[in-house]
Every structure is written in C-alpha cells, then in structure tokens.
Structure 1
Amino acid sequence: MTTAPQPKIDGRRSAAAARRRAREQEIIGATRALFDERGVRDAQIEDIAKAVGINRAIVYRHFTGKEELFALTLVGYLEELRGDLNAAAERPGSARERLAIIVSAFVDYALAHPAFVDCAQALMRRSGPELLDEISESALFRLGRGISGCLTVLSTCIEDGVATGEFAVEDPTLLANTLYASGLGALQLARVGILVKEAAPGIPTVGEISTDQVRSYLVDSALALASARQGQPSA
C-alpha cells in the first residue's frame, strides 16, 4: 500500500499553520502600532481589524478575546525590555552598580513606551482565575515566559550581590517581582508629573515631580531593599 498522499496532507497542514501564524503576527503587529500611537485604552478591535484589512470576527478566530490579544502584544514589549535589561546587566561593575543600571534601563524603556506600562498594569489588575478563563494556556505560557525572562535578569543580579555580600536578600525572586510591580506603579507618577500632599491639615495641594526624580527613587529603593537585612531597617 502506498503512502505517497500523506506528505501532501502534512504539507497542506504545515502551510495552513504557517499562514495562521503569519496572520496572528500581523494582528499583533497592528495592535502594537495602535498601542504606540493611541495608547491601550483607545485601541479597539475594530481598528485593529481595519488596519490588517480583515473583519473583526477573524480576530476572534485567532485569539480567545481582547485580553489574550493584549497579553501577546505585551510579550513583544517584554522581549524588547529583556534585551535592554540584559545589555545593562552585562555592564562591568559591582552588583550594586549593575542593579542601579538595570533599574534605570527598565525606567528608560517604560518612559519610551507608555503603552507597555498601561498594558502590563491592565493585565496585572486581573486575578489569576480571570486570566485563566480569558486567555488560552499557550498564551499564558508565552506571557509568563516574557515576564520571567525580565525578572530573571533582576534576580540574577541580586543573587550575585548576595554571593559577594553586597546584598542581604532571602528571596531574590520575590524582590525582583516586587521591584517590577512597584516600578510600574511609580512610573505613573512620572507620566502624570504631579504629587498630592497636604498644604495644611485637610487642605490638599499638588506639587511637581520629574522623570529623573522617579528614576532616582526607584534606583535608591531597589538598592535599599536589596541591602536591608530582614527585620532591620535599610541604611
């Protein structure tokens, strides 16, 4: 019995899979372009589909929903960010010096890509069960790989500092995750550019804050948290 037709079937399946992957990347690319141009909130599925030249229904054939599409778009940002963080981590110097450079690189990338911050924060506001319901397992894996790739750069630097005695951290992974999450929040201050405080009891007022101040704060906070021994205040 001949098996000649089988390669043709496999070939058609491979070609169809390649076309599907190409279309998915096209849709993700259009989403990224709209994010960078308009921001996350103003990026609508209809606009994304129009940019690709397809019906919005086709978008939902490739993605489980808006959350999955946004998650996979975030993966692209994270891959770029990881490249910047790796370059920073390869700079010569002590663990303290390298941690400062890594945090600065994170801030610089986020300031240059405001939609990255918005997209990351939007997904972080969703609970784990919600994400599992709305995003496919494969997309969650890619998102997790993107985040962990960035966090590993941080945690490895912290571990190096622990080994040399520069840092006193029991759980470098926890600290890396904390720095990532708190950094995203602090970057909103840089974007808004204002601080809220009391001018007198019960009388609110606002002050200005610059991106350089936010960068310095995040760097100093990272170094202080990495250097503080558990149960003792940082120096």
Structure 2
Amino acid sequence: MKLASQLYGAAELIAERGLDGTKIEDIAEATGIPKATLYYHLEGKNAVLEFLLTDLLEMIAGAVGIAIASAESARTRLETAVTAQLGVMLEHPFLCRALVGDLGRATRLPDLAVALRAAFFEPIEQLLTDGAADGSLRQVTDPSAVATSIFGAITVAGLSAAVDGPLKEPSSEAVRLSAAISDLILDGLAPPGTRDALES
C-alpha cells in the first residue's frame, strides 16, 4: 500500500530526533502524507512508530523463518538466523535506530512484545532445544534467557554498524558481524578444554 511505503520516510526523522522530538507536522513533511491522513489512519505519531517497528519485526520474522527452515543441524541454522537478523537490520538502519531510540516506549506496546517473541525468541528457543537433541549444541538450563542474550548481542552489534546510516555492502557486514557473534555464542571465550576441566 502506498501509505505504508511513504511512512518509511519518517524512520530517519524519528531515528535522528526520537519520537518526543518529532512532531506530527514533521512526519507529514518527511513522508508527503497530509497530517489529517496520518491522524485518520494512524491516530498520531505513536502509531507511526508502532507501524514502523511492527514492519521491521515482520521482516526479521520472515528472514529468520527462512533461515531456520532448512534440514541443516540446529547449530548451522542458528548461525544462519543470526546472519538473517543482522541482514535485515543493516538493510534498514534508520528503522533499527528508531527502535532503540524509543525502546522504552516500544516495550510498553503489547502487540510489539508479542511480535518480537514470535519473530525471534520462540524460533531461537526452538533451535536451542533442537540443538540439544541433534547434538550440535549443548543443553542449556534456561533457553529463554539464552535466546534473550543472543538477541541482545545481535541487536547491539547491528546498531553499532548502522549508527552512521546505510552501508555500502550491508550483506557483507552482516556476514562479518555474524561470524564474530556466532564465535562468541557458540564457542565462548574459554580456551579449548577449559569447560571440561572445570566440570570434571
């Protein structure tokens, strides 16, 4: 829908100013959508942010869903899912910065919390369970907390890369960051054999 595509013009504005520093008039000017139309369809700037973030989470959900649908081991699918989320974030840096700039507000939107859980946490928790079953990952005592930690690592790394705006080669940067994150979350920082020595 044309209105939806036009709303992306508000992402950079909100990313730079934050929602509190952005007026509905500014959004109307940046998107070319009349103020009355914005109020009619979205009931103000909070709804604009919610629309943008919901769209971002739907893109992440789609990319992660494709990544984990293969017949590969859970470990390989987890690595692919990390790359997939980073890829979406780096393709849409202003959306990501808008999310973090108003993270407190976003987390108070119940629909977004549900979308985030469906987009990332549930698929990653399932991969952790699958990995323990297929032997490609060790069993963890709290898959929910581990999934949250993985999401945090991806989000901060992606935002750090997106802070200056669009990258020339977002897919290459996503692969680079994914390799570093996967190395950390899958192999840790301990030298080889240290975990076995500590547990014996």
Fold match, TM over 0.5? yes
Tell me, yes or no, if the aligned pair for 1:104 and 1:219 is still in contact at 8 Å.
Answer: no
Q: How far apart, in 2, do the equivalents of 1:159 and 1:119 lie?
A: 32
Q: How far apart, in 1, do the equivalents of 2:33 and 2:47 lie?
A: 20
Q: Report the CA distance between 1:173 and its aligned residue.
A: 1.7
Runs of 4+ in 1 over 3 A off after TM superposition: 50-53, 58-65, 125-128
Q: Report the CA distance between 1:86 and its aligned residue.
A: 0.6
Tell me, yes or no, if the aligned pair for 2:24 and 2:35 is still in contact at 8 Å.
Answer: no
Paired residues, number: 176
Q: Report the CA distance between 1:38 and its aligned residue.
A: 6.0
Q: Which moved more, 1:213-222 or 1:61-70?
A: 61-70
Q: 1:146 corresponds to which residue?
A: 115
1:156 maps to 2:135: no
Report the TM-score, using the length of structure 1 for normalisation.
0.62
Q: 2:49 corresponds to which residue?
A: 70
Q: How far apart, in 2, do the equivalents of 1:127 and 1:146 lie?
A: 11
Superposed CA offset, 1:117-158 (max 9, x none): 212212324596xx3xxxxxxxx2321222111122211111
Tell me, yes or no, if the aligned pair for 2:24 and 2:44 is still in contact at 8 Å.
Answer: no
Change (3 A) 1:222 1:74: same
Tell me, yes or no, if the aligned pair for 1:88 and 1:101 is still in contact at 8 Å.
Answer: yes
Q: How far apart, in 2, do the equivalents of 1:190 and 1:117 lie?
A: 11
Change (3 A) 1:78 1:192: closer
Q: 1:31 corresponds to which residue?
A: 7
CA-based RMSD of the aligned residues comes to: 3.2
Structure 1 gaps, min length 5: 1-21, 132-139, 194-209, 226-231
State percent identity of aligned pairs.
24
1:167 maps to 2:142: no
Change (3 A) 1:59 1:40: same
1:217 maps to 2:180: yes
Tell me, yes or no, if the aligned pair for 1:82 and 1:149 is still in contact at 8 Å.
Answer: yes
Change (3 A) 1:31 1:184: same
Report which structure shows greater RCO (CA 8 Å, sep ≥6): 2
Quick one: which of 184, 192, 204 aligns to 2:155? 184
Structure 2 gaps, min length 5: 165-171, 189-194
* Aligned ranges 1:1-235 → 2 under 5 Å: 26=3, 28-35=4-11, 40-41=15-16, 45-50=24-29, 51=31, 53-55=33-35, 59-60=38-39, 63=42, 65-126=44-105, 131=108, 140-151=109-120, 152-165=122-135, 166-191=137-162, 211=173, 212-224=175-187
Superposed CA offset, 1:89-123 (max 9, x none): 01221111111111111111111111232122123
Superposed CA offset, 1:147-203 (max 9, x none): 11112221111111123342221121221122112211112332369xxxxxxxxxx
Report the TM-score, using the length of structure 2 for normalisation.
0.71
Q: How far apart, in 2, do the equivalents of 1:123 and 1:180 lie?
A: 17
Tell me, yes or no, if the aligned pair for 1:89 and 1:99 is still in contact at 8 Å.
Answer: yes
Q: How far apart, in 2, do the equivalents of 1:146 and 1:94 lie?
A: 26
Q: Which moved more, 1:212-221 or 1:149-158?
A: 212-221
Q: How far apart, in 2, do the equivalents of 1:117 and 1:53 lie?
A: 22
Q: How far apart, in 1, do the equivalents of 2:118 and 2:47 lie?
A: 19
Q: Report the CA distance between 1:69 and its aligned residue.
A: 2.2
Q: How far apart, in 1, do the equivalents of 2:49 and 2:163 lie?
A: 23
